[in-house]
Copies of this chain bind each other. A is one copy, B any other.
C-alpha cells in the first residue's frame, strides 16, 4: 500500500509546474503556496501572529496536552519561496506530536534579500528566544529543505557569537551545499520528481547572490565543522538530488562526536513528511522525529529501571 502511496505522490509531483523557476518570483511563490495548501494540517493547534527578533512569526501551540519546550522552525522553499503558513502542515505535526509550542519566523527571502539576510533573521529569532529567558536546553531547532539548512547555519552563526547550543536539531531534507557537489545531484537526476540540477542552481544563484558559495554558511555539508552541535536527526528520501547533503552532514557530525541519526526512507521524495495523513512513511517519520525531540528536550527517565 505504501509503495502505491509513494508512486501516486511521485506522479502528482511530476505533473506539477516546477516549484522553482523559470516563472516570475511572484508566480513561483503563488505556485508553492497553492501546492502546500493541499497538504493536511492536523487538528489540535492554534496559531497566533507574534513578533520574534523583529520578524513576523507564527506561534503554533497545542490546544490539547502540552509540555515544556520550544521548537524554532524554519520553513523551506529554497530561500526564495515559502512562508510560515506554507509549512504549517509540518510545524503543526511537530507541535501536535510533541506537545511543545513552535515559533516559525518569516525570515527574509531572495532575490530581494540574498545571503546572509535569511541567516541573520534566523539567528535574530534564536537570540530573541534566549534573551527572552528561554533555557537553551528547552529549545530545539528544526526545519525542512532550505529551512533545514537555516537550522544548521544558524547554529554555526550562533557558535561564532558564543551563544549556547539548543537541545537538538531536526532537519527534513536539508539543503546544505550551494556548491551542489553532492554525488546525488547527478545520481538521482530523473528519480527526483521535484528538482533538477538546473532548477537548484537557478534558485541557488538568487540566494547566493554575489557571495562565494565555498563558505561554511552556504555549504556546510562540505566545509563546516559540527563540533559541539546538539544531537541531530536528519530525515531524507532516496529520490532526492539533495540526499547527499544529509549523508555528508551525518558523516561530518559523526566524525565530530555529535550524536546523529541519519534516517533514510527509500523511494521517498524531498520533504515527504508533508504528506502526513496520506503517506504512511510520512507519519512514521514524524512519529520518530517527535520521539527524538521529546527525548532531547526531556532527558529521558529510563522507563524500566528494574532489579537485576
When the two chains form their complex, are residues A40 and B261 in contact, meaning their CB atoms are under 8 A apart? no
Q: Which chain B residues lie closer than 8 Å to A37 at the CB level?
A: 308
Nearest Cβ in chain B — how far from A182, in angstroms? 13
A2 to B280, CA, bound (A): 34
Complex A-B: 25 CB contacts under 8 Å? A2-B299, A41-B307, A41-B308, A42-B305, A43-B304, A44-B306, A93-B304, A238-B257, A247-B251, A254-B264, A257-B267, A259-B265, A259-B281, A260-B266, A261-B263, A261-B288, A277-B302, A277-B304, A280-B299, A280-B302, A283-B302, A283-B303, A283-B304, A284-B300, A288-B291
**Any B CB within 8 A of the CB of A242:** no
Q: Which chain B residues lie closer than 8 Å to A266 at the CB level?
A: 254, 257-260
Given the known inter-chain contacts A257-B238, A295-B287, please indicate yes or no for A280 contacting B304, CB distance below 8 A: no
When the two chains form their complex, are residues B263 and A308 in contact, meaning their CB atoms are under 8 A apart? no
Residue interface bits A265-304, CB-to-B below 8 A is 1, else 0: 1110000000011001101100110011001000110111
**Any B CB within 8 A of the CB of A97:** yes
Nearest Cβ in chain B — how far from A260, in angstroms? 5
Q: Which chain B residues lie closer than 8 Å to A308 at the CB level?
A: 37-41
Contact of A291 among B93, B264, B291, B300 (CB under 8 A): B291
Residue interface bits A1-44, CB-to-B below 8 A is 1, else 0: 11000000000000000000000000000000000011111111
A247 to B260, CA, bound (A): 12
**Any B CB within 8 A of the CB of A262:** yes
Given the known inter-chain contacts A257-B266, A264-B261, A265-B259, please indicate yes or no for A304 contacting B276, CB distance below 8 A: yes
When the two chains form their complex, are residues A306 and B259 in contact, meaning their CB atoms are under 8 A apart? no
Q: Which chain B residues lie closer than 8 Å to A41 at the CB level?
A: 306-308
Q: A93-B304, A287-B300 are in contact. List 7 more A-B contacts (CB 8 A).
A: A40-B305, A40-B307, A44-B306, A97-B303, A238-B254, A247-B251, A277-B305
Q: Which chain B residues lie closer than 8 Å to A261 at the CB level?
A: 261-264, 288
Nearest Cβ in chain B — how far from A25, in angstroms? 26
Number of interface residues of A (CB under 8 A): 49
Number of this chain's copies in the complex: 2
When the two chains form their complex, are residues A288 and B288 in contact, meaning their CB atoms are under 8 A apart? yes
Nearest Cβ in chain B — how far from A98, in angstroms? 12
When the two chains form their complex, are residues A276 and B264 in contact, meaning their CB atoms are under 8 A apart? no
**Any B CB within 8 A of the CB of A110:** no
Nearest Cβ in chain B — how far from A47, in angstroms? 14
Q: Which chain B residues lie closer than 8 Å to A304 at the CB level?
A: 42-44, 93, 96-97, 276-277, 283
Nearest Cβ in chain B — how far from A303, in angstroms? 6
A215 to B61, CA, bound (A): 54
| CB closest residue in chain B, given A187 | B255
**Any B CB within 8 A of the CB of A123:** no
Q: By CB atoms of chain B within 10 A, which of A281, A284, A292 has the most?
A: A284
When the two chains form their complex, are residues B288 and A292 in contact, meaning their CB atoms are under 8 A apart? yes
